[in-house]
Amino acid sequence: MNYGFLINNETCIGCHACSTACKSENEVPLGVNRTWVKSVETGLYPNVRRHFQVTRCNHCANPPCVRICPVTAMYQRADGIVEFDPEVCIGCKACLQACPYDAIYVDPNTGTAAKCHYCAHRVEVGLEPACVVVCPEHAIIAGDLDDPASEISRMLAENKVTVRKPEQGTAPKLFYANGNDTTLHPTAVPRTPATFAWADVLPLHESGDGHAAPEIPLPVVSKQAASGAAIRTPQAQGTPTGGPILIGDGRMAEQMVQVAYNAQHKIPWHWPVPAYLVTKSIGAGLFMLLSLGHGLGLFPFDGPAFIVGGLLSLLFMGITTALLVYDLERPERFLRILTRPQWKSWLVRGAFILVGFSTLAGLWWLIETGAYLGWWSSSLAEAVRPFLLWIGLPLAVGSAVYTAFLFGQAEGRDLWQSTLLPLHLLVQAVMAGAAALLVMDVFMAIPDVLARTAFIAFAAGLIIDLLVTFLGEFGMPHASETAAQAAHAIRHGAYKNHFWLWSVAVGHVIPLALLLAGHPLASALAGVLTLVGLYFYEYAFVMAPQEVPNS
């Protein structure tokens, strides 16, 4: 068995019966959808046409949501249905980022992921999915793709069909017969909610869950757009007045393509994710510099400096863990990542790397602190120090860069699919760790050679980070349209101030100028500004791709 769907766009009338039946059958709460019908209008008034697209989980043969799920709450059955288990889900929202089709949502009642599951409870007793049964035009066909005699197999053989985003490599099993490009491709029509005829989509400056996103100016368009008479008002940036039909400068609307209806999709990840990237960089970077510098003989061991530096490293790794748990919809289930891990997920691999690093770094710090305070002989610390510092170094590097591979599994956000991201995160960790050491130098007298090493590492990190950002992340052409749109939003759109003002100017240019003063206070201020700029960069990098629609 290999179940799939086919939508016949020639017969679909956009009645939303499938959406209603799905909500009723599966008790889907208000505000979220497992099945919805997208409407797009094209043409020149009065010759206009409305195109419909029934949208839902594609039950991919190669589902990225299954690979990224850390606890196997999302899984693929032997019959090809991609199913989920709400009793297991921890609410990490990673599957929402992995899905290129916006098919997964967080249930507001349970705080767990949910989506179309092919009405598996009906299929198992010989019934068809509820949406298939209720469709008045038989526009939704479900069945076994491996059975050549099934209706869906015959329809696939007899019709020209397409799928959404075949370039993602997910092998979707939701086919559209006579599909229209303006509905199939989410970026084909500008995302301007002001022109919707009706919708549950919020303005772009509202994410739907209380978190603010950058406000994007929208053109003012007559409400007659719904019927095809999309007539722009003469007040291009003002509020239209005078009646329901506004003629503007006397010309009717030109060729029109606009979304008339679509469903709301909230942004899954917010400020805790960029914050955790910064705290993780500080914690891992501090240990990396202390370990590597001492191991290579760049500076001798200094008890107070290493103990305070190790404590700060552990503190920021603790904050990192707290942010990760805080961002879960079901934080009380966090330990399931460790007790029932799904090893293909980089959430799991990263969690074990963080636990391993924190455990080893904590053991080293405890031994060094005990020896310094005279709890036991200093010879014990001297004996285990090289071993623990060298073993901890690869774990610190892993802690710094594993998020790049997690982002790589988030296949719904193309900007994150960067081969430079591991290097970029490693450079940022060195930069952040050195910044922390420079700030530490103001509050305690660390050895001059350690301060000088931190100074050099910090300056080099700033320069290399700028080069990686401009020549790599944003200098090269992007492989997909959605990645290019997200990059444009960072450099020239809604997040340009985060990037140019805070990240580049405050986080790089001013710190480099402050380093020229050569004073510890100036260097410490440079370190603080860089950490602030790093947060703004990570915020833009995390948020901008989530603003590009996937449906």
pLDDT (tens digit per residue) in 110-142: 999 999 999 999 999 999 999 999 999 999 999
Name, of 168-182, 217-231, 522-536, the range with top average pLDDT.
522-536
**What pLDDT sits at residue 197?**
63
In this model, does residue 57 exceed pLDDT 60?
yes
pLDDT for 217 beyond 70: no
How large is the average pLDDT for residues 37-66? 90
Instruction: Give the E-state strand segments of 113-237 in sequence order.
Output: 113-114, 140-144, 161-162, 174-177
Residue 241 reports pLDDT greater than 60: no
- Residue of higher predicted confidence among 263 and 487: 487
In this predicted structure, which of 3-17, 137-151, 261-275, 336-350 has the lowest mean pLDDT?
A: 261-275
In sequence order, the β-bridge partners of residue 4 are 143
The pLDDT of residue 255 is: 53
Q: Residue 266: what pLDDT? A: 85
Contact 451, 435 (CB under 8 A): no
Contacts of 220 (CB under 8 A, 6+ apart): 194, 232, 233, 235, 236, 237, 238, 239, 240
The more confident residue out of 337 and 240 is: 337
pLDDT of residue 188: 75
Grade residue 256 by pLDDT with cuts at 50, 70 and 90: low
246 versus 323: the higher-pLDDT residue is 323
pLDDT band at 259 (very low <50, low <70, confident <90, very high): confident
Query: Which whole number is the average pLDDT over 478-497?
Result: 93
Q: What is the mean pLDDT of residues 73-85?
A: 96
Would you give the DSSP letter of residue 179? -
More confident residue, 389 or 257: 389
Please state, as a whole number, how many other Cβ atoms lie within 10 Å of the Cβ of residue 132.
Answer: 20
Examine the pLDDT at 16 and tell me if it is beyond 60.
Answer: yes
Identity of the amino acid at 393? L
| Residue closest to 432 by CA, chosen among 312, 272, 259 | 312
- For 12, other C-beta atoms within 10 Å of its C-beta total 22
Domain ranges of the chain: 3-184, 272-547
The percent of residues in the chain predicted with pLDDT above 70, rounded, is 88
Helix (H) / strand (E) element for 19: namely helix 17-26
Q: Do domains 3-184 and 272-547 have the same CATH topology?
A: no
Question: Higher confidence at residue 360 or residue 50?
Answer: 360
pTM, entire model: 0.89
Q: Are 182 and 13 in contact (CB under 8 A)?
A: no
pLDDT at residue 248 tops 60: no
| pLDDT given at position 192 | 57
Residue 352 CA, chain-centre distance (Å), reads 21
The torsion of the CA quartet 350, 507, 323, 284, rounded to 10 degrees, works out to: 40
Q: Give the CATH fold of the 3-184 domain.
A: Alpha-Beta Plaits (3.30.70)
The region of weakest confidence among 47-51, 243-247, 293-297, 374-378 is 243-247
The model's pLDDT over 435-467, given as tens digits with 9 standing for 90+, comes to 999 999 999 989 999 999 999 999 999 999 999
| Average pLDDT of every residue of the chain | 88
| CATH fold label, 272-547 | Formate dehydrogenase/DMSO reductase fold (1.20.1630)
Q: Would you place residue 265 in the very low, low, confident or very high pLDDT band (cuts 50, 70, 90)? A: confident
